[in-house]
Amino acid sequence: MKLITPQQMKKVDEAAITVYGIPGILLMENAALKVAEKACEMLSGDKTKQIFAITGKGNNGGDAFAAVRHLHQWGYPVSVISLVRPGCVTGDALTYLQILEKIGVKTAFIDDESFLRGALLKLGSSDLILDGIFGTGIHGMVTGAFAAAINAVNESKARVLSIDIPSGIDGKTGQVYGSAVKADETVTFSLPKPGLWQYPGRYHAGKVTVADIGIPAGAAEMADLTGELLDLSSCGGLLPKRPSDGHKGTFGKVLIITGSTGMTGAGTLAARAAFKTGCGMVYLAVPGSLSSVYCINIPEAIVMPQVDKNGLLLPENLDELLKLAASMDAVVLGPGLSAKAPVAQWVSVFIENCVTPMVIDADALNVLEPQTLRKAKAEVVITPHPGEFSRLTGITAEEIQRDRVEYALRFSRENNAAIALKGAGTVVAYPDGSYKINTSGHSCLAVAGSGDVLAGIAGSLIAQGVPCPQALALAVFIHGRCGEVLAGEADLAGFTAGELVNVIPSVIADLRRASSKQAHPGQNPPGT
């Protein structure tokens, strides 16, 4: 499903109205109906439950007024609190406010601080709060009565339904403008906004429902949308084919360049992940003094000992590594490699001259000069976490986290490399300006070795013939889904990266089954 920023959504709304002739008030009516239906669902249709709508002055408030009209007509007790004076409500929102007055739904307008406190106390007696304070067009910090209202909503025991986006959340970045509503559910219109899938916005949104409000598909096409949610529907068709007469050579060869004293586990995890993802042959280029460790821990791999000193791969290995890489289908460079001087002396040269598609991760990122990516002869994908990305860019991790999509896109364009900026809601960005936000994942993935598993999955998929951009996205989704499977409905944690590896085959099998159902809806699989 495509993603749409608030600015793009504004263009789409304008196109629906001016190009297709759909009145804005009709779009508001359609949006309100979806909100009202969700409110009924959240209350299980119990018309004894009290609903409070809290509104601002824009179209988001108008959506709330219109939703209240439906709920009132369906027999629900509904009250409205407006955080602005009557004269501040204009346009279609004013039309619905006037309708409420005519059908007997009174609106309490906030005109002084004492009245604000009294009005907000009423929220404590509600069962459901409709959040219509701010929409995606919010600018500037939330202060004064608006901040007080948001705090009161969050402190109430009522369930909260946000309209389009939780008030106080940036629809593009997911950042909080000082204060933000914590919703149980959010109904967003037409297409999901990036800020609903980037933290902390994802946390504030709760369960997200994307509602069709009647905007023609052609209007969305005019906005030149480049973002997409990375989910089950977009991943199943990317899986590599598994011909029944295939052999180990059919399913690809991946070279993992890894190893340093005390860090042999990283390469082991990457190799195991590559095998579990379906790769036919895994080669490990490792420090010779540590080779026995890999032979014991991953006997299925072909271990290629290299010249080392104190457990570090040396520049003297460069020609041999390049020659070995040229005979492979994919290369994974970096897990457990070390960022010490002997390694730093050859990594960038290897990347520049390697002719095989590469996954660059971990310590290789820590010693990489970004301009090297622009000189690379082969396709390159990188998988940094915010700390590694900070070292690559010179931008603090805190700043990067404020707009993950923009920073990932900028780096990808400037350095001609696909990037998976890891973290909750991993961003996959491409040099052409397109991007994806991952929907799978769980906090149990935040454990040592998890990134090595991701690198192994990505390298394996590339080796099996999945094009690099798609392989990176698919690897991110599979990795996240493995975390969800481990955590289960009990929301467990405390797993190791090795346990993550073990569920890769079942996750891929589930993806294949889901993909088959999407391709052949309503058909039973053979043998049933």
Which pLDDT score, from 0 to 100, does residue 145 have? 86
pLDDT digits (tens, 9 = 90+) for 142-189: 998 899 899 999 999 999 999 999 999 999 999 999 999 999 999 999
pLDDT digits (tens, 9 = 90+) for 374-422: 999 999 999 999 999 999 999 999 999 999 999 999 999 999 999 999 9
Note the helical H segments in 262-367.
Answer: 264-276, 291-297, 318-326, 341-353, 362-367
Q: How far apart are CA 195 and CA 185, in angstroms?
A: 15
Calculate the average pLDDT of the chain: 94
Q: Are 164 and 186 in contact (CB under 8 A)?
A: yes
Which pLDDT score, from 0 to 100, does residue 517 have? 73
Which pLDDT score, from 0 to 100, does residue 197 have? 97
Level-2 CATH architecture, domain 2-225: 3-Layer(aba) Sandwich (3.40)
pLDDT digits (tens, 9 = 90+) for 438-456: 999 999 999 999 999 999 9
For a pLDDT cut of 90, what percent of the chain falls above it? 87
Which pLDDT score, from 0 to 100, does residue 528 have? 36
Token pair of 210 as six digits: 């994307």
Which pLDDT score, from 0 to 100, does residue 527 have? 41
Q: How far apart are CA 205 and CA 234, in angstroms?
A: 22
Instruction: Please give the average pLDDT of every successive group of 10 residues along the chain, which has 528 residues.
Output: 95 96 96 98 96 93 97 96 90 95 91 68 87 91 91 94 97 96 98 97 98 95 94 89 91 97 97 98 98 97 97 97 98 96 96 98 94 96 97 96 97 97 97 97 96 98 97 98 96 95 96 78 47
Domain ranges of the chain: 2-225, 247-519
**Contact partners, residue 162, CB within 8 Å, separation at least 6:** 131, 181, 183, 185, 186, 187, 204, 205, 206
Q: Are 363 and 337 in contact (CB under 8 A)?
A: yes
Which pLDDT score, from 0 to 100, does residue 435 have? 98
The CATH number of 247-519 is 3.40.1190.20
Q: Given strand 435-438, what is the order of strands in its sheet?
A: 2-3, 227-230, 435-438, 427-429, 418-421, 380-382, 358-360, 330-333, 253-257, 281-287, 302-306
Which pLDDT score, from 0 to 100, does residue 233 have? 87
